[in-house]
Structure 1
Amino acid sequence: MGIYLSAPKTEKASEDGENDRLRYGLSSMQGWRATMEDAHAAYPDLDSSTSFFGVYDGHGGKVVAKFCAKYLHQQMLKHEVYAAGDLGSSVQKAFLRMDEMMCGQRGWRELARLGDKMDKFSGMIEGLIWSPKGGEVNDHIDDWPSEEGPHSDFHGPNSGCTACVAIIRNNQLLVANAGDSRCVISKKGQAYNLSTDHKPNLEIEKERILKAGGFIQYGRVNGSLNLARAIGDVEFKQNKVLPAEKQIITAHPDITTVELCDDDEFFVLACDGIWDCMSSQQLVDFVREELKTESRLSVICERVFDKCLAPSAGGEGCDNMTMILVQFKKPVDLDASPGEQPLSPDQPSESRSTGKSSVET
């Protein structure tokens, strides 16, 4: 679904960066879509021991993805359980906090500031390209106090976004996901999914949707949304007797934590525009082959887009595409064949510049 251009926009916004533990490259491309609704965040040095990467895939508008790219990691940082070392709880609370922050006069004002046009009939807000300063990562927002104004009763945007983030601390990789963006890690060339695509036909998602008063038609929630978890989409979160985790659509993320080892080569965060065209293993194979001759990780991301881009409008390969490739700094034998691993392959387990970024392109 969506409006397509007569010719794809293939310009790519790309970036590379690194620290003493990892290298990363990222890129975004609008493609055949009429607008670019993806956003991302890349902070290799979120704090002295933590790296943060996130992909936010918007639907019905771009502003919720932009909001999350700006605020989600900040909210995780400021939570008291983060300081205590509980990454899982802090990022989980940050996901749910996004919906809370987008309500009321202050939420409306910030969404309007990030955007340039509000559709008064649908409540969906469209935005301009936005690129904050890298220093904003530690610009903690005060307690987001409520404000009085003409939009004090604003319940939040009807547009929304997926959120898939990866957090690295020491030898631990934590992935939090709500929606159908995906994180995949390569272990000696074998792809392992570190997130679940939250589609309405999954039994656990279907059960929640039906219990909350929703329905599934043509594989879409209430006949419209083709994913089961997202930030925003307030129209699906109006059951006053249910907590946020049990609404028709929920922002509550799955959390997967793995201990990194010498077998781990790299991981990929990408929106469904990539996964519609390539399986997890196909992408890992492609990246490993490219790594033999290409040192800039963002260039590999760009080549993935070129491979996925449809020759004409309609169907797979026509969506916005965003991808972050993170490689661990250690010698890797790219000619090694995949070996046996304790995880199940492809199944969930428990602009060029250098530096920090949080952008929508």
Structure 2
Amino acid sequence: MCVNDAEQVNIERENFENNSKQQQQPPWPPHCNEVLHTQMENFDKEPRLISSSVENSVPLRSICEDSVVIDGKQNLLNFAPTLRSGEWSDIGGRPYMEDTHVCIGDLSKKFGCKILGEGPISFYGVFDGHGGKGAAQFVREHLPRIIVEDADFPLELEKVVTRAFMETDAAFAKSCSLESTLSSGTTAITVMIFGRSLLVANAGDCRAVLSRCGLALDLSKDHRPCSTEERMRIESLGGYVDDGYLNGQLSVTRALGNWHLEGMKLKGERSGPLSAEPELKLITLTKEDEFLIIGSDGIWDVFTSRNAVDFARRRLQQHNDVKLCCQEMVEEAIKRGATDNLTVVIVSFQLEPPPHVVVKRGRVRRSISAEALENLKCLLEL
């Protein structure tokens, strides 16, 4: 009797354990179970190898991994930027002021047109003139209007902005033919923000730098003759670089205007070595993005991108006043010995000041900055 009772208990125990296993069986296929089991065993040993193996695994495993990534992106993108902007400029060490800028909170309201989509489209620009102020002022006045009046605005914004740069440049050429005193040139960088999308268009050596969790991200590339890509483009169009200058005359390789300089630009289908076509950068803003710094090259002569972000973060943490922060950055540039005109525009995406965070640095410390390294490379190529 005792033996039978023990056998009955064992049978009931086995049934209970089998039922428990069936209830705990996860809803995914068995081979996903094996992947999960293998990952749990090796997690503490080789986490990087596991991450790599998941990325190169069979499709169903990739689906499991991607679902986590998508959820993470959704959390980051669940963000609506609140724009606050400020600007400041100074003649610096130059006898004439050739910089100018523009800040338009709502393009449609500014030009009295209706656009499709949710929310306004904001427009910011910095224009650094050379050889006179005519080109910079012309571009500031006409470029935003030409963008808005394009038939494809705002549905194909990247194409519209590129066309607008070229059309503005051609329109300025006509104005110069009627009034030669306008002859001059200007670099140009514009930023358009619509919803969470941010589009940078750059032609020249102005620069846009994003602060993301305290890290500095360049959203534009300086167009200088020492750039390998720019030099190849120049030489393919019949130009040359002499002593670091385009055709021995200009320190930039992209700009609007300069139609009076022989050999720089050609009318019609052929293009000269000096281009007005901008390079574009489109990103999606997330809650990690704090603010954007847009500055003329006079700012970047004395600030690195990293240094500028650090400086602006400290000031915004102190007073959270965007315009005052721009003024302080220009004043600091003067203290550092800036000799050029100075213009800076800062666009904040948050109402609150940047949080105090510890920015992770690379394990290998550089003995030379990235910009100094690029300058050294340019010197070696000459």
Same fold (TM over 0.5): yes
Report the Cα distance in structure 1 between the residues aligned to 2:252 and 2:350, rounded to whole angstroms: 35
Equivalent in the alignment of 1:103: 173
Amino acid at match of 1:38: D
Distance 1:237 1:89, change over 3 A: same
Give the residue type in structure 1 aligned to 2:216.
Answer: A
Taking the aligned partners of 1:241 and 1:161, their CA distance within structure 2 comes to: 21
Which residue in 2 is equivalent to 1:329?
Answer: 350
Cα displacement string for residues 112-133 of structure 1 (whole angstroms, at most 9, x for unaligned residues): 5xxxxxxxxxx453xxxxxxxx
* Larger RCO (alpha carbons 8 Å, 6+ apart): 1
Cα 1:238–1:308, aligned 2, differ >3 Å: closer, same or farther? closer
| Structure 2 counterpart of 1:173, from 198, 213, 224 | 198
Q: Which amino acid aligns with 1:80?
A: A
Post-superposition offset of 1:196: 0.3
Distance in 1 (CA, whole Å) between partners of 2:99 and 2:192 is 19
Change (3 A) 1:200 1:292: same
Contiguous gaps of at least 5 residues in structure 1: 1-19, 113-122, 126-156, 348-361
Shift of 1:337: 2.2
Query: Which residue in the other structure is 1:86 paired with?
Result: 156
Superposition deviation, residue 308 in structure 1: 1.3
* Partner in structure 2 of residue 206 of structure 1: 231
The TM-score with structure 2 as length reference comes to 0.67
Distance 1:264 1:346 in 2: 22
The one of 103, 118, 124 aligned to 1:53: 124
CA-atom RMSD in angstroms:
2.4
Residues 346/166 of structure 1: CA separation in 2 closer, same or farther (3 Å cut): farther
Match runs of 1:241-256 below 5 Å: 243-244=270-271, 247-256=272-281
Counterpart check, 1:257 vs 2:282 = yes
Partner of residue 163, structure 1: 188
Aligned equivalent of 1:232, options 251, 257, 261: 257
Counterpart residue identity of residue 103, structure 2: A
User: Matches of residues 107-126 of structure 1 in structure 2 within 5 Å?
Assistant: 108=177, 123-125=180-182
Partner of 2:92: 31
From the superposition, tell whether residues 242 and 310 of structure 1 become closer, same or farther in structure 2 (CA, over 3 Å).
farther
1:329 Cα offset (Å): 2.6
8 Å Cα contact 2:209-2:294 kept in structure 1: yes
- Partner Cα distance (2:218, 2:354) in 1: 21
- In structure 2, the residue corresponding to 1:292 is in which secondary structure? helix
Find the residue that maps to 1:58 and give its secondary structure.
strand
Partners of 2:159 and 2:270 in 1: CA distance? 17
Give the stretch that moved more between structures: 290-299 or 268-277.
Answer: 290-299
Paired residue secondary structure (1:224):
coil
Greater helix proportion: 2
Q: Take 1:74 and 1:333, find their aligned partners in 2: how far apart are those partners?
A: 34
Structure with bigger strand share is 1
Given the alignment, which residue of 159, 165, 188 partners 2:213?
188
Deviation of 1:82 (Å): 1.1
Contact 1:53 1:167 in 2 (8 A): yes
- Using the size of structure 1 for normalisation, the TM-score is 0.71
Query: d(CA) in 2 for partners of 1:263 and 1:251?
Result: 33
Question: Size of the alignment, in residue pairs?
Answer: 274
Letter in 2 for 1:222: N
Displacement after TM superposition at 1:338 (Å): 2.8
Q: Please name the residue that 1:274 is paired with.
A: 299
| Structure with bigger gyration radius | 2
Identify if the C-alpha distance between structure 1 residues 291 and 310 changes in structure 2 by more than 3 Å, giving closer, same or farther.
closer
Identity %: 33
Equivalent pair of 2:224/2:252 in contact (CA under 8 Å): yes
Deviation at 1:322, TM superposition (A): 0.3
* 1:103 CA drift (Å): 2.9
- 1:40: Cα distance to partner? 0.6
Kindly state the Cα deviation for residue 52 of structure 1 after the two structures are TM-superposed: 0.3
